[in-house]
Amino acid sequence: MTDTARDLLAALERTGPRPALAWYGEASRIELSGHVLANWVIKSVGHLNDEIALTPGAAVVMDVPPHWKRLVLALAVWSLGGGITAAEETRSTAFIPHRDQAMPDLLITDRPDDSPVENADEVLAVDAVSLAPRFSGALPPLVHDWAQEVRASPDHLSVPLPHWSGPAPAAGGAAAHRPDTVDRADDAPVRLLVEQDGLEELPHVLAALLSGGGIVGPAGSMSARQVADEQVTARP
């Protein structure tokens, strides 16, 4: 049986200094190497385990706009066996079916003072800003500041991982069933263009990362020249 979380972390470590994620959602391009993306996921797993006490089967509501931080947190939640739902339809995406959750175990939000989710055992505040060292707004009592707290988490995985609870990687690789895939050499790493942060195409994102490739997005924020410069080999 495959272990998606451990396989993903191992693949990112093998990718090493090569780019695993390029993000064009803000004023400048942000690049995360395989090492760095793995480190963000590992530190997030440690934080969710140590500070939030997230357990397999925990109900997590995601109320954050598309961003690479949202992708990292989703990967960490699924690595710990949690389930993710959307807070509301305006932030719902294909990978998260909306369902009612009266009392989630964890709310992850960029608006802790104004989230549509009124009750949660734990609340994690996350700014959708790449280089923010801490949450920019005032935090209500007992709300965790992810950007500030996660930096103190271990750089090496020290948490026993349960069975992966997220979507499975796409069969046949990241470019499977994509008729407009760009021709590439068989040994070239996959560079997958994603519409937002990759969660809507997560099976293909996982396949790309597991194969030693990377993802680029959001597609709507990129010019044709930027797409070409990123050497994109597969498209939505």
Each residue of 75-93: pLDDT tens digit?
A: 999 999 999 998 764 454 5
Confirm if 134 and 150 have CB atoms less than 8 A apart. Answer: no
Q: Which candidate, 209, 194, 213, places its Cα nearest to that of 24?
A: 194
Confidence of residue 181 (pLDDT cuts 50, 70, 90): very low
Cα 10 to Cα 22: distance, rounded to the nearest angstrom? 20
Weakest-pLDDT range from 46-60, 66-80, 186-200: 186-200
Q: Looking at per-residue confidence, does 173 or 81 come out higher?
A: 81
Is the four-CA dihedral 151, 156, 161, 165 of positive or negative sign?
positive
Q: Is the peptide bond before 133 cis (omega within 30 degrees of 0)?
A: no
**Whether the predicted pLDDT of 16 surpasses 80:** yes
Segment 162-172 shows an average pLDDT of 93
Q: Is the model's pLDDT at 179 over the cut of 60?
A: no
H or E element at residue 193: strand 191-193
Quick one: pLDDT at residue 90?
A: 42
pLDDT at 163: 94
pLDDT band per the 50, 70, 90 thresholds, residue 98: very low
> pLDDT grade, residue 174 (50/70/90)?
low
**Mean of per-residue pLDDT scores for the chain:** 88
Q: Look at 10-14, 75-79, 94-98, 159-163 and tell me which has the smallest mean pLDDT.
A: 94-98
Residue 57 has pLDDT above 80, yes or no: yes
Measuring CA to CA, which residue among 121, 48, 50, 51 is closest to residue 81?
A: 48
Please give the pLDDT value at position 188.
Answer: 78
DSSP 64-119: --S-HHHHHHHHHHHHTT-EEEESSGGG--TTS-----SS-SEEEES-TTS-S---
- Regarding beta strands 59-63 and 83-86, do their DSSP bridges make them parallel or antiparallel, or are they unpaired? parallel
According to DSSP H, which parts of the chain are helical? Answer: 4-15, 34-50, 68-79, 146-149, 202-210, 224-229
Handedness of CA 42, 46, 52, 55 (dihedral sign): positive
Q: Select from 38, 54, 57, 74 the least CA-distant residue to 157.
A: 38
The mean per-residue pLDDT over the stretch 68-79 comes to 98
Residue 236 pLDDT greater than 80, yes or no: no
| pLDDT computed for residue 2 by the predictor | 60
Q: Does residue 17 surpass a pLDDT of 50? A: yes
Whether the predicted pLDDT of 108 surpasses 70: yes
- Dihedral of the alpha carbons of 214, 167, 42, 45, in degrees to the nearest 10: 150
Q: Does the pLDDT of residue 175 top 80, yes or no?
A: no
